[in-house]
Structure 1
Amino acid sequence: MKTINPLATLVKVLDTFSEWTGRTIAWLTLLMVLVTFIVVVMRYVFNIGNIPLQESIIYMHSFVFLLAAGYTLKHDGHVRVDIFYRPMTERGKAIINILGTLLLLLPVSIFILLISWDYVAFSWATLEGSQEAGGIEALFILKTSLIVMPILMILQGIAELLRSILVLTGQGHLLESDPQEHPL
């Protein structure tokens, strides 16, 4: 009989959310390449400019960079100095991850969330649009990613913190995937 641990369940739920978010937002990279190709062909073959298409590339790039940050954290893709971390035991890595999450990741994410709040709120209050004539009139949506990104990082940071706690308490095995489970 399988033991149900609420911490392990929460880690799996948060991981699944980050995985879904990252895989969904990844499709924007394909769209971004296609739109860039269209913009280049329009400009250099037909001598036609299109400001909304050009701005959409900036929007998509921003969304990919900001909204996939939690997914990248889940897959341990952020920059770190592995010279000391890599050879550590699982318990040592868990301690470093707990310290990094509590002292760096969560405080910085909370700071970004708080410092961006008024900036984004003002943008929504004025329904801020493009500074370019004929540009995308939804700059407020782009700026909203400045709030969504730290929220996604906090959620995945909680998952990483709980995962490390489970490792330290000898319950890391509860996070191993069940072959019958298919979250995506």
Structure 2
Amino acid sequence: MIRAVIRTIDMLSKSVGHAFAWCIVILTLGISYEVFVRYALRDPTSWAFDLSYILYGALFIMCGAYTLSRGGHVRADILSRRWRPRRQAMLEFVLYFLFYFPGVLALVIAGWGYGMESMAIREVSVNSPVGVPIWPLKMLIPAAGVLLTLQGVAEVLRCVLCIKEGEWPPRMHDVDELEDQLKQLHTSEQAKGIHS
């Protein structure tokens, strides 16, 4: 049952993270267009700056839960990484309740007020004459807080399983870093060389 809950939350984080990852493609196309028209045609757009910070902001905030689900956030585990998994899980369990959940709860509460106020006045960007709406970006703040809260629940459940079983449950895996792929390729080539 616990593993099913973890998997469901991880799948939700994955779906949202993958959906918002498309912001990178749109951002790349938009900025490339801006560079072309600015320097080749000498006719800069009035919306490129707004596009860049809105899409980057959406990408950054909405992919946080996905990154957490993959164990990709930076950790200050100088001492605890040498500990046994059960002891690591106990420490993480406590830290989630002391620091993580209060932080994301503050994000949800403050973000909700901030987003609703922005939506009520239909806030637009002051950085360009186009008046690009920025209230949708601000409404993503509480949504990201909710996703981070759910993923935090999954991480606490991972801690519970590790405390019970003595080892960390496996995480979902869908992307490899290039250096990890190169290491695997090098290792497999070495293994082939040994067998030849």
Range of TM-score over shorter length: 0.7 to 0.9
The residue aligned with 1:144 is: 139
2:129 is matched with 133
- Correspondence 1:81 to 2:76: yes
Indicate the SS of the match to 1:56: helix
| Counterpart-to-counterpart distance in 2, 1:26 and 1:167 | 31
Aligned 8 A contact 2:86 2:166 in 1: no
Report the counterpart of residue 104 of structure 1 in structure 2.
99
Per the alignment, residue 3 of structure 1 pairs with none
Q: Which has the higher contact order (CA 8 A, sep 6+)?
A: 1
Aligned residues: 172
What is the CA–CA distance in structure 2 between the aligned matches of 1:63 and 1:126, rounded to whole Å? 20
CA separation of 1:87/1:177 partners in 2, compared to 1, >3 Å: closer, same or farther?
A: closer
What secondary structure does 1:78 align onto?
A: coil
Structure 1 match to 2:191: none
The one-letter code matched in structure 2 to 1:170 is E
Shift of 1:38: 1.0
Match of 2:18 among 23, 40, 50: 23
Contact 1:55 1:135 in 2 (8 A): no
Where structure 1 has 5 or more consecutive residues not aligned to the other structure, the ranges are 1-5
* Identity fraction in percent: 24
Give the match's secondary structure for 1:77.
coil
Unaligned 5+ runs, structure 2:
175-196
What is the TM-score with the length of structure 1 in the denominator? 0.85
Q: Which has the larger radius of gyration?
A: 2
Runs of 4+ in 1 over 4 A off after TM superposition: 175-178
CA distance in 1, matches of 2:69, 2:85: 16
Alignment partner of 1:9 is 2:9: no
Aligned-CA RMSD value: 2.1
